[in-house]
Structure 1
C-alpha cells in the first residue's frame, strides 16, 4: 500500500513539475503578446488556465501512478507509461512552441500530435487500469477544446 501511494505521489509530482516548467514559458508571453492576438468568443479568461491545468496534472499523475503500481516489469505497463511520458513531453512542447516561439501553426501541429498520442495513451491505460483511463478523460476533453482554440487562434491571426 505504501509503495502504491509513493508511486502515485511521484507521478503527480512529475506532472506538476512539467506543468510548472510550461507555465514559466507561458508567463513570458501571456501578458503581452497573447493579449494582442485575435481570439474566438469561446476563449476562457486567463485566470482559468492555472486551476484547470493544476487539476488536470494531478489527475494525470494519479492515473500514471495507478498504472505504475501494476508493475513496471509488465510489458503493458511499460508501453502505457512510455505513451504517457511522450504525450507529457508534447504537452510541455506546446507551451514552448505557442508562447515561447510564438509559432501558431507549429503549435497546432504539436497539439494535434498530442491529441493523437493521448488517445493511444488512454487506450493503453485502459488495458492496465480502467480507472486510470477514466482519470485521463477530463484531460482529453480539455485538449480537444485546446486544439480547437489553437486552431481558431491560428486561423484568426
Structure 2
C-alpha cells in the first residue's frame, strides 16, 4: 500500500523493528548494578526510572523521523543515505552503552558521546532537507544526548580515574 506514491507499511515495520532491536541491545548491555550504584552522581541527575521512559519516547520519535525522512527522500541515493545515517547512529548509541555500562569506562564513553551527538546532528540536517517534521522529531534526541553527555562528564569528574 502506498500513500502519495511511496510505500509506508514496510518502512514503518522496518523502522519499528530497527528501533526495537537498538533499544533491546542497548538495554541488554546496560548493567544497572553495584558498579553503577556506587558511582557518585551530580545532584541534578534524573531519577533512574526516568531513563526508560525517556528512551522509549526518543526511540519512538526517532523511528517516526526515519520513516518521514525516508518517505520524503527524492531518490534512492538520498533514501540510502538516510538509512545509513540512522544505522550509524544506532551503532553509536549501542557503543556508548557498551563503553559506559559494560566496560565501566565513562571516560571513554565521554569521548564517544561526541560522535553520537554529531551523528544526531547529521540526522537532523539531512532529514530536514527532505522533511521538516523528521528534523523536528529528532530534536528531543539531540537535547537528551546533550544532557546525557553533560551527565557522563560529571560522572567522570566525580569518580575518575577509570581503568
What's the counterpart of residue 18 of structure 1? Answer: 22
Q: Tell me the matched-pair count.
A: 155
In the alignment, is residue 54 of structure 1 matched against residue 56 of structure 2?
yes
1:98-137 correspondence to structure 2 within 5 Å: 98-137=100-139
> What SS does structure 2 have at the residue aligned with 1:136?
helix
For 1:110-148, what per-residue CA distance to the aligned partner results, in whole angstroms no more than 9, with x for missing partners? 111110121111100001111111100111110000010
1:2-151 correspondence to structure 2 within 5 Å: 3-26=7-30, 29-70=31-72, 73-151=75-153
For 1:85-112, what per-residue CA distance to the aligned partner results, in whole angstroms no more than 9, with x for missing partners? 1111101111111000011111111111
Contact 1:11 1:61 in 2 (8 A): yes
My pick for the range that moved more, 89-98 or 13-22, is 13-22
Structure 2 unaligned segments of length 5 or more: list them: none
My pick for the range that moved more, 70-79 or 82-91, is 70-79
Structure 1's consecutive aligned runs of 4 or more residues displaced over 4 angstroms after TM superposition are none
Tell me which structure has the larger Cα radius of gyration. Answer: 2
RMSD of aligned Cα (Å): 1.6
